[in-house]
Structure 1
Amino acid sequence: MGAKAYFAVAAAAISLSIVAATPAIAAPRAAENYVAMGDSYDSGVGTRTYDSSSGDCRRSPVAYAPLWAKANSPASFTFIACSGARTPDVQKQADQLTSSVSLISLSVGGNDVGFASVLTSCQLGSDQSCFDKVAEAVNQARTTLPAKLDATYSKIKSKAPSAKVVVFNYPRLFDLGTCGLGGLSKAKRERLNQAADTLSGIISGRVSAAGFRFADLRDRFNGHGICSSAEWLNGLSWPINESYHPNTNGHSQGYLAAFKAAIG
């Protein structure tokens, strides 16, 4: 092999090795068409700051979804999460999806099993009445919720078949240390956290079956539950609808981090 030919082959080999070693570049976030769906945990209830035009849906500009959109400037951002949403409501939200949507986030299921009434019962009643109400909700979660989640995820997939879909569970609400005035007993807090774990397991299973991405919040909120020294969730609050929802730190440090990790 002549000198020129040798150097030409060597240069080609070096060029190929450089190309092979270069990691694939992720699609720019500016190309995303993002829709944030779901219930009050997505809309931002608990942050105490809402877009007045969103009415009872209580959509907050400091919820995780608009925070992500502000930082990443996607091609489009549609915020349709709404306080109080159950699976039929989220299926109606899905009517706004199109085949051009490339990124979706949501949580749903807590309202279907009556978690708000469970928390009210636990706040006002005895340990046993709390346990009984929790047991009712857990039974609903196991027997009726899976089919409701399947129908909801199927509707989303049919409307936006190419979208990357991130589904959140619900964080454990409570730290188990000493709780101040108005706090729930340790036994109630333990039982409610166990119920949240059961609900998470059900949601995770149906998310996996749908081929979506599961964003588990539990580890991220460890040490930041109600009754901790650094709460990312509101305890019993006024107005009452702010209670038992993520606060601004919960969204900016908990949900947003989990969302980023899920989408890669």
Structure 2
Amino acid sequence: MTQNSRRLSGMCRAAAVTAVAGASLFSLAAPTQAATDGPNYVAMGDSYASGAGLRGVKDAECDRTTGSYPSIVAGTSAGENLAFKDVTCSGATTRSIWNAQGSKPPQINALTPNTKLVTLTIGGNDVGFTSVLATCALVKSSDPNGSPCKKYFTTGKDVLGERINTMEGRVRDVITDIRRRSPDAKIVVVGYPALFPDNGVGCAEVPFAQQDFAFLRDTTLKLNRALARRAADGGTGVSYADTYKATIGYDMCQPRQRRYIESLTPGAGSMAAHPNSYGQLLMSVATLDQILKP
């Protein structure tokens, strides 16, 4: 099977799962019409949830698009019967859940007692994802065959590990507050996809030292494990959607026709190191898989 055939096959499978899942999503909230006293489905999170860089911009300030996985979930046949509120915003941290981000009110404000479904992708910006990538690119020249970025962030103390620990505690508080405001909501914590090669072998197109690819992969996995722990400890109605496994082999180092995560090449804009339309589709499938579980 050719690469294009594999991609087409994967897209067809994902579209079919999305369509079937949408038919069952109706039973989750069971409204007969869009709610008038608050949204049934609230999407919260950062640029990985907002669909940053894709077409169909709904909100330029937040880089929120119609190609995001929450929009795909909401666009299923049953999702059309759920009043949908998308408050995702590029650059959001856990602080953005409770505090204004630019002109945008706190994301938590979108929740009501009538909310029946919440999806949440948050934590990458708490760890400083964008600045970490910039630093890794800057220090590459000091040791292109080694791991200068890992050395930068672990000499003396594990800077990123400490950030992840702090983030994990905040995500716990976010889940607690969501449950308090929307006690009947099913909460799906959606993890981050495989941005870097899972085998740790890098590529010339992405400007990092050779051994730093494994360091960045491991950091992504640590972040996802922290999110999965918080979801597991969140109690009944809280689950974790693993988007990493589904995107292994489709990272930013893959050929353009295969990758689901855009590379750091000039002109990528806000989509750099973010899921493209295929990546968002796979994220929606992983999310729907959790929504449909009893």
TM-score, normalising length from structure 2? 0.74
Query: Which of 35, 40, 44 in structure 1 is aligned with 2:47?
Result: 40
SS in 2 for 1:250: helix
Who is 2:81 aligned against? 74
Aligned-partner Cα distance in 2 for 1:216–1:65 = 15
Query: Which of 123, 128, 133 in structure 1 is aligned with 2:153?
Result: 133
Structure with bigger gyration radius: 1
Once the two structures are superposed, the pairs formed by residues 1-264 of structure 1 within 5 Å of their partners are 27-28=26-27, 31=30, 33-51=40-58, 54-72=59-77, 73-91=80-98, 92-126=106-140, 127-131=146-150, 132-133=152-153, 135-142=158-165, 144-175=166-197, 176-177=200-201, 179-211=203-235, 212-229=238-255, 230-237=258-265, 238=267, 240-252=269-281, 254-264=282-292
SS in 1 for 2:189: strand
AA of the residue aligned to 2:162: N
AA of the residue aligned to 1:210: G
Alpha-carbon RMSD across the aligned residues, in angstroms, is 2.1
AA of the residue aligned to 1:246: P
- Provide closer, same or farther for how the CA distance between residues 70 and 167 of structure 1 changes in structure 2, counting only shifts above 3 A: same
Aligned-partner Cα distance in 1 for 2:272–2:55 = 11
SS in 2 for 1:106: strand
- Tell me by how many angstroms 1:71 deviates: 2.1
AA of the residue aligned to 2:186: K
Moved more, 185-194 or 156-165: 185-194
Moved more, 179-188 or 63-72: 179-188
CA contact (8 A) 1:47 1:246 kept: no
The percent identity for this pair of structures is 30
Who is 2:18 aligned against? none
Unmatched tracts of structure 2, length 5 or more = 1-23, 32-39, 99-105, 141-145
TM-score, normalising length from structure 1? 0.82
Aligned-partner Cα distance in 2 for 1:249–1:123 = 26
- Deviation readout 1:76-118 (Å, 9 max, x if unpaired): 1111100111112123211220011111101111111111110
AA of the residue aligned to 1:227: C
- Deviation readout 1:173-224 (Å, 9 max, x if unpaired): 1124562434434311111000011111111111111121100111101111
